[in-house]
Structure 1
Amino acid sequence: MLRKFGFIMILVILAVCLLSGGCITEDKDVPTLKELIKISRTDDYGKDILEKIREKTKENKNVKDNEVPEGEGKGTEDTIKVDLYFVKSDKSGLEIEERYIERREGIARLTVGELIKGPEDPGFINIFPPGSRLLDINVKPDGVCIVDLSSEVAGVRNSREEKLMVYALVNTLAQFPTIDQVAIRVEGKKVDTVAGYVKWPEAITPDYNM
């Protein structure tokens, strides 16, 4: 029993060493990793545990080897296609630009972030004034998505630009099945106009004719 306990302690140390990439010590009285392996090989009980440790170490290595470095292309399991509504260069209306973004929790927040960032297609323009930011977003059980924007969004210059900006946001968010309407806040406050040109209801429905 005592011998068995001793092997367990040795193999616990061995497991830590293998899973962490190795053990380094300058104390000559402490057994080295090679010595621990040698000890474990002399006993059947130790051999069984050592084999399990090796299998676990191999699994961990395979997972690490298959990780995709940040910033490199990912497969469809890691991305999702979203439709971003951008303004045509002549401001005659909205058009969809498809974009692949990271698939993770908070997809609506990521999507609005991409919308505010602007289009990749040179045929579209970014209707959000410079400095515009998403402060918060919250999807309610009744299908209303509350979007809190920074005060820079009030920088649009006329009613046409305000309508295009608001519907670019609303139409983009309404693509998600849990969102039917969008309620806009500016700096955390309820508003009936975003830039002073258009009166808006508390919850805005999408308009795909824009």
Structure 2
Amino acid sequence: MRRTLAPLLVLALLVVGTAACGGDGSDDAKASTTTAAQTTTSAADTDTSTTAAGGHDHGGGIETEGTKVLQYWVRGDKLAVGANGVDAGTTAIGTGALERLLEGPARADALSGMTTLIPEGTELLGLDISDGTATVDLSSTFVSGGGSMSMTLRVAQVVFTITQFPTVDRVVFHIDGAEPEGLGGEGLPTSYDGRSGFDDVTPAIVIESPTPYQNVSSPLTISGMANTFEAVVNWSVSSTEGSLLKEGTTTATAGSGTWGTFEVETELPAYQGNVVVTVWEQSGETGSDRTNVYEVLVNLT
């Protein structure tokens, strides 16, 4: 089985090949949305190592220094997941995650086509986490410019980034030290109970681990969140040339209108180089069509 790599990932490979570095940050910051789910693997979970040409080095991985935290960016009109490093010895992990978010996408995430709708120059004036509520105080630049979609996405970026931590289940926005009546000219709510209310800007399946250009090894763990029919999530790992290394099916903790989490661990055949981790949902009368496709390019060592 061979698949054509998405044009965006092909372009990213051409760019990263000019100046790449190795290594992988530790994953000490555990996201609340990537807890282990009950996993089932179908008979399609078949080793196809005979199709792997092996050793196609397109520049390797991109190092994340410090404690790894997730950031939620924008790709197209949906959220996408990237990562950066925080010096947990000098910065509180939640503060560091938001500060990295305000700085814009890291190189690996930018190469993967991710951007931000948070206006440049937005400052984090304060972060207080108490009794499960994170109060995020941002400068007024945050609510400047853009329309309703732009404002919704930038708010979602902040909410998803801070709720990766299990100590946060509610987010309240302050602007310049006070809670406004609404956010921006659109008057978006200033408080959010977790990640609910953002279905329009959230892909039906999201990979939260691994993250773009992360160095990975076998066995590989793929985890994230999904809202699919009967909670079914299909996955595969392929070379960048389209040769299938492994594929299977797993079940999220919830689905069919309710968000759940998924996690699958799989042994991969011997291979070194960039590979594409893909998740998708089957559709159509025969179940042969792929929808809600989400891809992450990583470096298999």
TM-score by length of 2: 0.41
Separation (CA, whole Å) in 1 of partners of 2:117 and 2:188 = 18
RMSD after superposition: 2.3
Comparing 112-121 and 196-205, the one that deviates more: 196-205
* 1:125 aligned partner: 115
Q: Which has the higher contact order (CA 8 A, sep 6+)?
A: 2
Separation (CA, whole Å) in 1 of partners of 2:145 and 2:170 = 22
Within 5 A, what are the aligned runs for 1:57-96? Answer: 76=26, 79-88=66-75, 90=76, 92-96=77-81
Separation (CA, whole Å) in 2 of partners of 1:166 and 1:133 = 14
**Does the aligned pair in 2 maintain the 1:147–1:183 contact within 8 Å?**
yes
Q: Read off the aligned partner of 2:164 and give its amino acid letter.
A: Q
The structure 2 residue matched to 1:138, chosen from 128, 136, 139, is: 128
Instruction: Name the SS for the 2:191 alignment partner.
Output: coil
Within 5 A, what are the aligned runs for 1:193-204? Answer: 193-204=182-193
Deviation of residue 158 (structure 1)? Answer: 0.3
Separation (CA, whole Å) in 2 of partners of 1:135 and 1:177 = 22
Deviation of residue 177 (structure 1)? Answer: 1.0
Within 5 A, what are the aligned runs for 1:89-104? Answer: 90=76, 92-104=77-89
Aligned residues: 135
The structure 2 residue matched to 1:161, chosen from 150, 158, 162, is: 150
Separation (CA, whole Å) in 2 of partners of 1:203 and 1:191 = 14
* 1:184 aligned partner: 173
Separation (CA, whole Å) in 2 of partners of 1:114 and 1:145 = 17
* 1:66 aligned partner: none
**Does the aligned pair in 2 maintain the 1:84–1:96 contact within 8 Å?**
yes
Separation (CA, whole Å) in 1 of partners of 2:101 and 2:176 = 19
Within 5 A, what are the aligned runs for 1:36-47? Answer: none
Separation (CA, whole Å) in 2 of partners of 1:201 and 1:127 = 18
Q: 1:113 to 1:75 in 2, by over 3 A?
A: closer
Deviation of residue 75 (structure 1)? Answer: 7.2
Identify, as 1 or 2, the structure richer in strand. Answer: 2
Deviation of residue 198 (structure 1)? Answer: 3.7
Deviation of residue 156 (structure 1)? Answer: 3.2
Deviation of residue 201 (structure 1)? Answer: 4.9
Instruction: Name the SS for the 1:126 alignment partner.
Output: coil
Separation (CA, whole Å) in 1 of partners of 2:129 and 2:173 = 12
Deviation of residue 119 (structure 1)? Answer: 0.5
Structure 2 unaligned runs (5+)?
1-22, 29-64, 202-301
* 1:29 aligned partner: none
TM-score by length of 1: 0.58
* 2:92 aligned partner: 106
Of structures 1 and 2, the larger Rg is shown by 1
Q: Read off the aligned partner of 1:108 and give its amino acid letter.
A: G
Separation (CA, whole Å) in 1 of partners of 2:124 and 2:92 = 13
